[in-house]
Structure 1
Amino acid sequence: MRETVAAQLALAALSRSELARLTQSLMLSFGLRTAGKLVVFRSKREFDAVRRAVMATGEDGGQQVLTPTECLGLEPALRLDAGKLAGGIFTASEQVGDCAAFCAGLTFRLRRQRNVEWVLGTEVVGPVRSGGRLAAINTGQGPVQADHFVLCMGAASGAFAKACGFYLPIYPLKGYSITLSPAPEARPLRHSVTDMERKLVFAPLARDGRTAIRVAGIADLESDTQIDAGRVEVLRRASAELLGIDTAGDVEPWCGLRPMTPDSRPIIGWSPLDGLFINSGHGMLGWTLACGSARLTADMIDRKRSVAPAGAFALCRAA
């Protein structure tokens, strides 16, 4: 676990710097801001364990240990009674943004480049191997040839790897989110808030000049992508309890399959099939690690030295 946390933090730091570089160089606008993250704990035992770990790292870690009263003072939107909390951990440097707006902006820029070809709405039929090398991809529109391929098919990556002749330990973990539009008179959510006991995240977003709140969580080990109304109701009730938001009206529900690995680290590195590189298995940290993973992928394919610990994300890493 210590090795995983260290590797993930290094990759996240690289991802943050790459995100900043992309945002500036491409002039992307997706509501990125430094809002800070507050993690609230209901269990005293769990809080005490985290508190000791934070205090052991000192102020260099950028985290603050807060009492229940300090948590409520920091985030006035919380509607919890102080007696229901054991405490909280606040990290002022954490950022929030709208990942869909980021992807839309990045897509718009890429469409204007002559060296990018889009093949959308097309079925990936399977690999075309030649002499131990991936030579092409069969698609519904015919074969696509290339010198190198990057496998980043999310939860479907394992099935494609199997067709290529090797095993990829990536499993679907179904997660949900809802996006709420609080009433104008409601107290705005200032920070990203994580309810550690319920493993739910509440993030403020700026959308079309108004404030929205995205609530995400839940982990079902299944591959069905249909939205379960009962799961959406769990997020509704949690929002009403934690933030006092009236969720009786319309909300934007979503669900998707998080590509999880057994140790929660993504797999970034060359596959056993020559010509195929893997960049998959990011779990619920997809956007958090996306830009850093892309940088690491590009550096490894170009045989450049990377600042991230590449070996920690190799397919054949130490257990």
Structure 2
Amino acid sequence: MQEILVIGGGVVGLSSAWWLLEAGHKVTLLERAPQVGTGTSFSNGGQLSYRYVSPFADAGVPLKALQWMFQEYGPLHFKPQFDAQQWRWLAAFLANCRADANRQTTHKLLELGELSRRSMVRLEAVVPPESFQWRESGKLVVYRTRKAFEAATAKPDASPTRQVWSAAECAAHEPALASVADQLQGGIYNSGEAVADCYAFCVALAERIAAHPRFTGFVHGAAARLVSAGNKIAGVETSTGLVKADAYVLAAGMQSRALAASAGISLPLYPLKGYSLTAPIRPDDVAPEISVTDFERKVLYARIGANLRVAAMVDMVGEDLSLDARRLASLTRQVRETMPHAADYGSVTPWAGLRPATPNSAPIVGPSPYANLWLNVGHGPLGFTFACGTASLLADLVQGKAPPFALDGLTLR
């Protein structure tokens, strides 16, 4: 049994803490905010997309990105900065924009997605799905251009959960799309995918963690740096003092990059700023029952409880959490056009979060250069989807167990 300090109280850190507790360790959790789950986990898209895991980096993406930046509804906004980390990340991202690299990463993320799905099912025994509004909605990706639709349907996929629908079938299965059925070429539907409230999941899981007999408590304080001694981490310097343990797990979202750098570790993370809108669903609204992704516009729609959650956009603007009025106005306009009767858009709550992304879209889980420091970082927009899976992998690795599949492409090396 080790005493382990988990750094980060978002969905990844909390999941890591739970799996380590269940593996027999004592765990303390360090979170800088007064409440868990209030960072990037707070108001994200809410989709648990275990099979829709296509990496952002792919052949043709650099050209598309240039086009997106000049489109009114473009999903990408790039602000060049005098920041070496931004340019290093971009160079590594471009190096991954190859079809072969995309295929390899997609295969690995599908393995991780299946592990994550099974791990979430295991967790249902202690965190009831209704406590975080979990619902198996299925996922429908709709395409507006014939080229994109044909490219998607041409990809080999033997999954029994996959169905290809015409535009008319998309609208028939999901009436919320009726207003844009004539603008669609078709869609691909996968059953078994789900939606849920990530923040509510964090709160519910934190309650179970707090009641665990091996949990030694929450420490609410800002981590300033990792203190190293030889080949080990000797403690974490925080706003409340030095916190020490036998081993440490870094799972602090974008803050992980600076903390790792304080110990001489370079993490290939960059913040991809995303926005979400949360609008209440009224009795007469036609909100989507199926989780929908508008492929070309990169907009996600999910009914979470009594609200419609819309998530979109990638802003490469550094660690800027401000709400860009122009970006929000653009997102609101296209949401009103796509699903005009889905929710009360006059009562929208906007939000922005920084998604810690790696150049190849794969999270980093496993050992670090220090013997007692473990990593669980870089989940990008799929933190909720992959959190339980990477937590399960991490617990196995800390125990010295072999992982259920090869981790090539998922480690710091």
**Above 0.5 in TM-score?**
yes
Deviation at 1:30? Answer: 1.4
SS in 1 for 2:284: coil
**Which deviates more from structure 2 when the two are superposed, residues 120-129 or residues 175-184?**
120-129
1:215 and 2:310 matched: yes
Distance 1:248 1:213, change over 3 A: closer
Indicate if the aligned counterparts of 1:175 and 1:218 stay in contact, CA closer than 8 A. Answer: yes
Which of 385, 394, 397 is matched with 1:288 structurally?
385
1:26 offset after TM fit, Å? 3.7
| Structure-2 residue corresponding to 1:93 | 192
Would you say the 8 A contact 2:280–2:344 is kept in 1?
Answer: no
Q: Does structure 1 retain, via aligned residues, the 8 Å contact 2:279–2:345?
A: no
**Hey, what does 1:240 align to over in structure 2?**
336
Report what 1:173 is aligned to.
272
Pick 1 or 2: higher relative contact order, CA cutoff 8 A, min separation 6: 2
What does residue 394 of structure 2 align with? 297
Query: Displacement of 1:73 after TM fit?
Result: 0.6
Contact 1:173–1:257 (8 Å) recurs in 2 = yes
Matched, 1:309 2:406: yes
Q: Read off the aligned partner of 1:27 and give its amino acid letter.
A: P
SS in 1 for 2:347: coil
**Is the Cα contact below 8 Å between 2:277 and 2:351 reproduced in 1?**
yes
Q: Distance in 2 between matches of 1:204 and 1:35?
A: 9
What is the letter of the counterpart of residue 312 of structure 2?
G
**Residue in 1 aligned with 2:71?**
none
Note closer, same or farther for the CA distance 1:229–1:172 as it changes in structure 2 (3 Å cut): same
- Give me the whole-angstrom Cα distance separating, in 2, the residues matched to 1:7 and 1:43: 28
1:225 corresponds to: 321
- How far apart are the structure 2 equivalents of 1:254 and 1:120? 26
Tell me the SS of whatever aligns to 1:34: coil
Give the residue type in structure 2 aligned to 1:5: T
Amino acid at match of 1:214: R
Q: Which amino acid aligns with 2:311?
A: A
Look up the match of 2:349: 252
1:253-309 deviations in Å (ceiling 9; x for gaps): 111100010101001111112211110000000000000010001100111122143
Alignment partner of 1:9 out of 106, 110, 123: 110
Q: Paired residue for 1:47?
A: 149
Distance 1:203 1:248 in 2: 15
- CA contact under 8 A between 2:355 and 2:379: conserved in structure 1? yes
Q: Residues 200, 120 of structure 1: CA spacing in aligned structure 2 closer, same or farther, 3 A cutoff?
A: farther
TM-score, scaled relative to structure 1: 0.92
Contact 2:222/2:239 (<8 A) preserved: yes
> Is 1:262 aligned to residue 359 of structure 2?
yes
Following the alignment from structure 2 to structure 1, what is the Cα–Cα distance between the partners of residues 216 and 331? 39
Tell me, in whole angstroms, the C-alpha distance in 2 between the residues paired with 1:57 and 1:115: 43
Q: Which runs of 4+ in 1 moved over 4 A?
A: none
Aligned to 1:57: 157
**Do the aligned residues in 1 keep the contact of 2:224 with 2:259 (CA within 8 Å)?**
no
The alpha-carbon distance between structure 1 residues 139 and 214, as it changes in their structure 2 partners (threshold 3 A), is same
Q: Distance in 2 between matches of 1:4 and 1:305?
A: 20
Percent identity of equivalent pairs: 39
How many pairs are equivalent? 309
CA drift of 1:136 comes to 0.8
Residues in 2 aligned to 1:306 and 1:273: alpha-carbon distance in whole angstroms: 20
From 268, 279, 287, the equivalent of 1:188 is 287
Gaps (5+ residues) in structure 2? Answer: 1-101
Distance 2:373 2:175 in 1: 50
Task: Report if the CA contact (8 A) 2:113-2:386 is conserved.
Answer: yes
User: 1:154, 1:75 → 2: CA distance?
Assistant: 35
Change (3 A) 1:27 1:187: closer
Determine helix, strand or coil for the equivalent of 1:100: helix
RMSD: 1.5
Q: Secondary structure at the match of 2:260?
A: helix
- Residue type of the alignment partner of 1:10: E
Residue deviations 1:54-80 (CA, integer Å, cap 9, x gap): xx334x352111111111111011143
TM-superposition CA deviations, 1:180-221 (whole Å, max 9, x none): 112211123110000001101000111xxxx21100011001
Task: State how 1:33-44 maps to structure 2 within 5 Å.
Answer: 33-44=135-146
Counterpart of 1:238, as a letter, is Q
- Cα distance in 2, alignment partners of residues 147 and 198 from structure 1: 47
Q: How does 1:134-149 map to 2 (within 5 A)?
A: 134-149=233-248
Distance 1:248 1:305 in 2: 49
Assess if the C-alpha contact under 8 Å between 2:127 and 2:208 holds in 1.
Answer: yes
The 1:26–1:72 alpha-carbon spacing in structure 2 relative to 1, beyond 3 Å, is: closer
Match of 1:105 in 2: 204
| Structure 2 Cα separation of the partners of residues 241 and 83 of structure 1 | 13
SS of residue matched to 1:154: coil
Q: Secondary structure of 1:264's match?
A: coil
**Paired residues of 1:51 and 1:65 also in contact (CA < 8 A):** yes
